[in-house]
A and B are shown apart, each in its own frame.
With several copies, the nearest count.
Chain A
Amino acid sequence: MSTLPDVDALRQSFPALAQTVYGKPLIYLDNGATTQKPLSVINRLKQYYKAENANIHRGVHYLSQLSTDAFEKARASVAAHINARQKHEIIFTRGTTEAINLIAHSFAQHLNKNAPKVLITAMEHHSNLVPWQQWVLQNGGRLMVAGLKPDGSLNMEHFEALLEEQPDIVAITHVSNVLGTVNPVKAITSIAHARGIPVLVDGAQAIAHMPVDIQDIDCDFYVFSGHKAYGPMGVGVLYGKEVWLDRLPPYQFGGEMVDRVSFDTTTFNELPFKFEAGTPNVGAVLALETALSFIRKTGYEAIAAHEHNLTSYGHQLLSRVEDIEFYGTAPGKEAVISFNIKGIHPYDLGTLLDKMGIAVRTGHHCAQPLMDHLGIPGTVRASMAVYNTLNEMERLAEAVNKAAMMLR
């Protein structure tokens, strides 16, 4: 247990966790939606706007140069964090959703094909579903959906059977935001590549919890959001293999992404700028770098060990609640507990938990098709981060018990 993080110490640097709501100490278990931010991240933003702020690239003055250097250093640092080969394989976006839309759009243009086929899974977030769905719908194509096993893990047989129908691209989440399932994205990439099919991995729910080695996974695209990994909102990362990014046409136009513009025609800048139109969110990119360095300093191993404890302890305590049903119990699942209590609407449960100071998310978690698949309107979801405590899991279980008693 020597690798466990010092959670008490760590909590000190998260001001948001010290709040009370309705007079009760806040227990924040909505980390799947967004995490709270350490002071180092908040201060990085503040510092940027107090002493470094300038628009970047092409500027010759001191602040512009300072900001540009910091921005490009952050790019290199993000590349190193996920072990990307080259820093220009890192594109900064607004978030996961924008990154997936970018790839879906540019890939569609590149392929320029009738009846395209995209293979996803039944556990995708809307952001990794609707962009592909709209493309195939508009072109007479087909969205192929690999099913799940009862424990919420991917039905690999079904997946492989669909793969044989030769989809144009595979888009799959690394970790399910509802079920916590960790998909075998390395194996999936390998079998997809054997058929020449590129793979996009949605890492929104992975990057805060487990080390991501892009060269090991070997996927073609990997995307995540800063705000779900202790970073600020308004920044996300799109990793793309150089060969792909070179090949795909740009998505948005204007600003730094052009090389030479005349009224008749435009040539585009090289990577990574080709995909970064308009003034980037410089401050947020620098704060994202700080957030990732917070993660490295804490250590993925320590984070995973602690979160695993939280999750299994939480499961254990909650399973004593009468009539509770869990969604997602695959081995090795991430720090998410989704559940319902028979006969109780998740909204009611969530509302009462809130009054007891516990922030969970209720509803469909932007995964309506998964809810349909499970035959439920929604779930209550407790999603943990490194700063949550075993004691908080106890208070969650007590509160769920109490609420359930009130609601029955």
Chain B
Amino acid sequence: MSAEQAQQQIIEEFSAYEDWLDKYNLLIEMGKDIPVIDPRHKTNNHLINGCQSRVWLHAELRDDGKVYFSADSDAVITRGMVSLLIRVLSGRTPDEILNTNLHFIDAIGLTEHLSPTRSNGLVSMIKQMKLYAQVFQLKTKN
């Protein structure tokens, strides 16, 4: 499944719900399936600071040339958001990650989480994921 297909799938899953709370219920459930970061990576080094909730993000480039993310957050809604990002971006090549336009966030009505002033740190998280991809891209090209 491509990143785009993953986004479509998420949009479809969310489209079943009209009510905000139902959407959030789904989001929370999805957070439970997050590829959990190895406890020894749950350090300040891997911390992305939002003002209110904390996110730890780890990335590794495997031999298949793809980047695999794992993460965690102390807030379950944030964890849900992160798990969606991972579904879309994890297991892809650096190029794919860098070229993916994350339109699904808007489509499922969670745009507000993308506000640069939002205190959940989602924006810095996406930045961080793309940064990892960039670093790995340089690595693979050398």
Contact = CB atoms under 8 A, between A and B. Distances in A.
B75 A347 contact: yes
A348 B118 contact: no
A280 to B, nearest CB: 13
B18 to A, nearest CB: 11
Interface in B66-85: 74-78
Contact of A406 (B21, B75, B118, B120): B21
A355 B75 contact: no
**How extensive is the interface on chain B, given as a class?**
20 to 34
Interface in B4-41: 20-21, 24-25, 28
A355 to B, nearest CB: 4
B9 to A, nearest CB: 23
Contact of B118 (A65, A345, A377, A378): A65
Contact of A377 (B20, B28, B74, B112): B74
A58 B51 contact: yes
B52 A346 contact: yes
B21 A345 contact: no
B87 to A, nearest CB: 20
B115 interface: yes
A79 to B, nearest CB: 14
Nearest to A343: B76
Contact of B52 (A56, A60, A402): A60
Nearest to A405: B25
A257 interface: no
B53 interface: yes
Contacts of A71: 117
Q: Which 9 A-B pairs have the closest CB atoms?
A: A345-B75, A68-B117, A347-B52, A355-B20, A347-B75, A347-B53, A348-B75, A348-B77, A58-B51
Interface in B92-142: 112, 115-120
Contacts of B75: 345, 347-348
Contacts of B51: 57-58, 363
A57 B20 CA distance: 23
B116 A362 contact: no
B21 A356 contact: yes
Interface string A68-100: 110110000000000000000000000000000
A345 B119 CA distance: 14
A362 B78 CA distance: 14
B116 A60 contact: no
B77 A351 contact: yes
Interface in B34-56: 51-53
Contacts of B52: 58, 60, 346-347, 362-363, 378
Contacts of A263: none
Contact of A347 (B20, B24, B78, B117): B78
Interface of A: 22, 56-60, 65, 68-69, 71-72, 345-348, 351-352, 355-356, 362-363, 377-378, 402, 406-407
Contacts of B117: 56-57, 65, 68-69, 71-72
A362 B28 CA distance: 19
Given A69-B117, A345-B74, A347-B78, A355 B24 contact: yes
Contacts of A402: 21
B119 A348 contact: no
Contacts of A65: 112, 115, 117-118
Contacts of B77: 347-348, 351-352
A72 B75 CA distance: 25
A356 B21 CA distance: 8
Contacts of A378: 52
Given A22-B20, A72-B116, A351-B24, 13 more contacts: A56-B117, A68-B117, A346-B52, A348-B77, A348-B78, A351-B77, A352-B77, A355-B24, A356-B21, A363-B52, A363-B119, A406-B28, A407-B28
B76 A352 contact: no
B76 A345 contact: yes
B76 A348 contact: yes
B24 A406 contact: yes
Nearest to B19: A355
B78 A69 contact: no
A26 B138 CA distance: 50
19 contacts: A57-B51, A57-B119, A58-B52, A58-B119, A60-B119, A65-B118, A68-B115, A69-B115, A71-B117, A345-B76, A346-B52, A347-B75, A347-B120, A348-B78, A352-B24, A355-B21, A355-B24, A363-B52, A406-B24
- By CB atoms of chain B within 10 A, which of A68, A351, A377, A402 has the most? A351
B14 to A, nearest CB: 14
| Central interface residue in B21, B28, B74, B75, by most chain A CB within 10 Å | B75
B52 to A, nearest CB: 4
Contacts of A377: 74
A355 B18 CA distance: 13
A345 B28 CA distance: 13
